[in-house]
Chain A
């Protein structure tokens, strides 16, 4: 079975802090993705990567950056967390056909 793990299930941070969300997959997938999910807005793509050290902006990249130094790991970085970044963050990995999701990280920024 494909396994996508995220470093934390719940996270509470303060405004202005630098926040790292980590995602690891064990299926040697080329593609990895970060989404956020908000009530009434659904899931929206933040960033994705189709290879090591490669990254592409999704629909809502503002306020975020990413890092992919190894194929299995994709990190989402909030350089200076703000309250409007309080959300559920979901990581996914996939080959050409199908995406598999991690359990999510619920981030609260106070």
Chain B
């Protein structure tokens, strides 16, 4: 059964720093990997989607990489801002999106002003 782990569980850094969030998965036979952001008490906002054939995706200050063979993904946030404070979730799809996502438990990120 696929398991997704996110490290660290929590992270607090000063504003302006670059940071890396880690995600690992046990079964490399994934269809894609998705990074989400969740603000307290709210739903999930999709940040980046990486197909299994891709190595990375970028959106603004965010860059996500995927190493499928080693079962790892990283989310890089450049020049962090207080508005980046949220929980970041990693999720993998095995069956092409038709059978649900398997989620990690998230990294709770706080950016100190």
The total of chain B residues at the interface (CB under 8 A) is 25
Q: Which residues of A contact B61 (CB under 8 A)?
A: none
Query: Which residues of B lie under 8 Å from residue A103 when comparing CB positions?
Result: 42-43
Kindly identify which residue among B32, B36, B41, B98 contacts A50, using a CB–CB cutoff of 8 Å.
Answer: B98
Which of B19-27, B66-74, B78-86, B100-108 is near enough to bind chain A?
A: B100-108
Complex Cα spacing A4 to B44, Å: 11
Stretch from A11-19, A66-74, A78-86, A90-98 contacting the other chain:
A90-98
B99 touching A56, Cβ below 8 Å:
yes
Known contacts: A90-B44, A101-B43, A106-B41. The answer to whether A31 contacts B98 by CB under 8 A is: yes
* Separation of A103 and B40 alpha carbons in the complex (Å): 11
B23 smallest CB distance to A (angstroms): 12
The reply on B89 being an interface residue by CB < 8 A is yes
- Say whether A48 contacts B106, CB under 8 Å: no
B11 contacts the other chain (Cβ, under 8 Å)? no
- C-alpha gap A95/B100 in the complex (Å): 11
- Are B100 and A98 interface neighbours, CB within 8 A? no
Contacts of A40 in B (CB 8 A): 105
* Bound CA–CA A104/B97 (angstroms): 20
Determine if B34 and A45 form an interchain contact, defined as CB atoms under 8 angstroms apart: no
A42 / chain B contacts, CB cutoff of 8 Å: 89, 103-106
Closest B-chain residue to A41, C-beta based? B105
Question: For the complex, is B30 an interface residue (Cβ under 8 Å from A)?
Answer: no
> Does A99 belong to the interface (CB within 8 Å)?
yes
Q: Closest 9 A-B residue pairs measured CB to CB?
A: A101-B44, A45-B100, A42-B105, A43-B103, A103-B43, A101-B43, A96-B97, A104-B43, A98-B49
Pairs across A and B, CB under 8 Å, 26 listed = A31-B97, A31-B98, A33-B100, A35-B100, A41-B105, A42-B106, A43-B101, A44-B103, A45-B100, A48-B99, A50-B98, A56-B99, A90-B43, A92-B44, A94-B97, A96-B96, A96-B97, A97-B49, A97-B51, A98-B97, A99-B46, A99-B101, A101-B45, A102-B43, A103-B42, A104-B42
